[in-house]
Amino acid sequence: MATGKQIKKAKEQVDRSAVYALDDALDLIKKSSYVKFDESVDISVRLGVDPRKADQMVRGAVVLPNGLGKAVRVLVFAKGDKAAEAEKAGADFVGGDDLVEKIQGGWFEFDTAIAAPDMMGVVGKIGRLLGPRGLMPNPKVGTVTMDVGRAVEEAKSGKIEYRVEKAGIIHAPVGRVSFDVQKLSENILSLVDVLVKAKPSSAKGTYLKKISLSSTMGAGINLDIAEVQARLK
């Protein structure tokens, strides 16, 4: 367990009023980590949008090139050939009414849910249970699809979903502290690139307002947005 001195020393390394180049920020996250477990590295992006307006809702999914560094448990609602396809692709749980019954009983031992389109009537029975947990399959992010095999493979390889919150902020995991700087940079730039391309035409003014990184237990580190944007080109 980290001591108070370790925590203080780690936080003192971060200048909260400064902005850092991406690789420098990642170096700092790795150097200032003071816990024994492999922390998640997370990103927060404040966008110049008004999520209350339907045409300014930024939502989607992206497959991170270097994954998330953890095993992802994938559940698939499918039957027949689609169930066999999901199993072949490596899904952890495949079924229909049997899975609905388990979930209604309080079972949520999975990280993402995928559904074949003809199963959405069944899945709808538990929408109020899956929705608040961010587990409801949705065609907008590719989790309601005929291509269940590909969806399973993407989920297993590091696909993340993102959705702008009420305050205009997107939060997402981008890897682990044990990743090298290059892998973390590639993941972060992949996500930011997708967000930039998803800019609503009705959004005016500055779009990327603030980007910060943090580890699970670490302080937030603000990125130099101009440097990040230059690396996207």
Distance separating alpha carbons of residues 53 and 36, to the nearest angstrom? 43
Q: Is 141 helix (H, G, I), strand (E, B) or coil?
A: helix
What tokens does 3 get? 């001591």
Looking at the domain that runs over 74-157, which CATH code has it been given? 3.40.50.790
Distance separating alpha carbons of residues 200 and 148, to the nearest angstrom? 29
Q: Looking at the chain, which residues constitute the CATH 3.40.50.790 domain(s)?
A: 74-157
- For the chain, give the mean pLDDT: 91
Q: Looking at the chain, which residues constitute the CATH 3.30.190.20 domain(s)?
A: 13-67+159-232
Q: pLDDT tens, 186-198?
A: 999 999 999 999 9
Q: pLDDT tens, 60-91?
A: 999 999 999 888 999 999 999 999 999 999 99
The pLDDT, as a whole number, for residue 3 is 52
Distance separating alpha carbons of residues 153 and 233, to the nearest angstrom? 29
Superfamily of domain 13-67+159-232 in CATH is Ribosomal protein L1/L10, rRNA-binding domain (3.30.190.20)
What tokens does 145 get? 């699809």
Closest CA to 28 of 41, 46, 45: 41
Asked if 142 and 170 touch (Cβ cutoff 8 Å), the reply is no
Q: pLDDT tens, 204-227?
A: 899 999 999 999 888 889 999 999
The share of the chain scoring above pLDDT 90, in percent, equals 75
pTM of the predicted protein model: 0.82
DSSP lists the bridge partners of residue 114 as: 76
Q: pLDDT tens, 84-121?
A: 999 999 999 999 999 999 999 999 999 999 999 999 99
171 Cβ neighbours under 8 A, 6+ residues apart: 42, 43, 44, 165
